[in-house]
């Protein structure tokens, strides 16, 4: 029967298309772990870079403050030379010592910043190398994946065109019913009937229906699973005939 052959061809095209779609959806998962690792390291690198830049600002600020205090001390020393009274001399010396003590604190703070700066700079270099390496691997994988995805899209388009071409020769109502069964029955919408049973659900069908199937005059469905069924012969008869 012509419609049975068309439906079998349609089922094959639709299952092939579904299989390609499944394979296509798996592809991004292949690179998901690498992508996540790359993004995690990149985020850490950017945070460390921001920390490094902040330390650079702190370092410049501490150096500026220390330099200003040193200049202040030098000016105070120069002024000390022109002081005439002991009181003014004592006050100026006190001011100079206070400025020196302040600078000592600032220098200790600068040393702490420099130590952190050195540690962060080292960590930043390590993360930069890691991000570059992971980025290279990720980009390389993506080139391969994009090529495979393009092939999948091409195959899907070809199979969809074949599906449309095959379905065009069917009655529209039958084509719609076939697609509904296909979706509900896991891609198996038409199956043979053998030994007076449906090979889709393995339930027996009536003798009368089995006789009608053998006549191949119209399309019938399994009363149990609603799949379209067609006669493929009785195994016992085939063996006897052989």
**Helix runs in the chain, H state only:** 2-30, 32-80, 86-167, 172-184, 207-215, 235-241
Residue 83's pLDDT is 62
Q: For residue 7, give the nearest of 159, 188, 160 by alpha carbon.
A: 188
Domain endpoint, select from 167, 192, 221? 167
Residues 120 and 37 in one domain: yes
Q: What is the pTM of this model?
A: 0.59
- Is residue 55 a part of any domain in this protein? yes
The domain boundary, picked from 167, 182, 206, lies at 167
pLDDT value at residue 51: 92
User: Would you state the pLDDT for residue 99?
Assistant: 76
Q: What is the pLDDT of residue 102?
A: 80
- The answer to the question of residue 3 being in a domain is no
Q: Are residues 31 and 82 both part of a single domain?
A: yes
Cβ neighbour number for residue 131 with a 10 Å cutoff? 20
Question: What is the Cα–Cα distance from 61 to 117, expressed in whole angstroms?
Answer: 14
d(CA 198, CA 196): 7
Asked if residue 66 and residue 137 are part of one domain, the reply reads yes
DSSP 8-state code for residue 205: -
Given 167, 190, 213, the domain boundary residue is 167
Residue 65, pLDDT score: 82
Parts of the chain with a pLDDT under 70? 1, 76-77, 79-89, 92, 233-242
- Tell me: do 119 and 207 sit in the same domain: no
43 shares a domain with 136: yes
Asked if residue 194 and residue 134 are part of one domain, the reply reads no
- Work out how many domains the chain is built from and give that number: 2
DSSP symbols for 45-79: HHHHHHHHHHHHHHHHHHHHHHHHHHHHHHHHHHH
Query: Would 13 be classed as within a structural domain?
Result: no
Q: Token pair for residue 167?
A: 């379905």
| 61, 124: one domain | yes
| Residues 145 and 29 grouped into a single domain | yes
Whether residue 199 is contained in a domain is answered as: yes
Pair 78, 150 in one domain? yes
Its domain, for residue 150, covers: 24-167
pLDDT at 237: 44
Question: How many C-beta neighbours within 10 Å does residue 6 have?
Answer: 19
Assign residue 159 the CATH number of its domain.
1.10.287.1490
């Amino acid at each position: 029967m012509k419609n049975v052959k068309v439906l079998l061809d349609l089922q094959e095209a639709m299952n092939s298309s579904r299989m390609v779609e499944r394979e296509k959806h798996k592809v991004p998962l292949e690179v998901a772990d690498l992508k996540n690792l790359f993004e995690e390291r990149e985020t850490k690198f950017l945070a460390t870079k921001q920390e490094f830049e902040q330390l650079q600002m702190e370092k410049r600020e501490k150096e500026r403050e220390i330099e200003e205090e040193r200049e202040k001390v030098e000016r105070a020393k120069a002024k000390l030379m022109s002081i005439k009274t002991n009181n003014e001399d004592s006050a100026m010396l006190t001011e100079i010592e206070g400025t020196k003590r302040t600078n000592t604190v600032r220098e200790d703070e600068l040393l702490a910043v420099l130590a952190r700066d050195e540690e962060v700079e080292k960590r930043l270099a390590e993360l930069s190398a890691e991000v570059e390496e992971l980025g290279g691997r990720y980009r390389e994988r993506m080139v391969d994946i994009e090529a495979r995805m393009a092939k999948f899209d091409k195959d899907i388009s070809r199979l969809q065109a074949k599906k449309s071409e095959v379905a065009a020769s069917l009655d529209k109502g039958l084509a719609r019913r076939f697609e509904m069964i296909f979706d509900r029955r896991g891609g198996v919408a038409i199956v043979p009937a053998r030994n007076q049973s449906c090979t889709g659900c393995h339930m027996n069908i009536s003798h009368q229906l089995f006789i009608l199937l053998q006549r191949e005059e119209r399309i019938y469905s399994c009363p149990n699973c609603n799949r379209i069924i067609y006669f493929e012969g009785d195994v016992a008869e085939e063996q006897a005939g052989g």
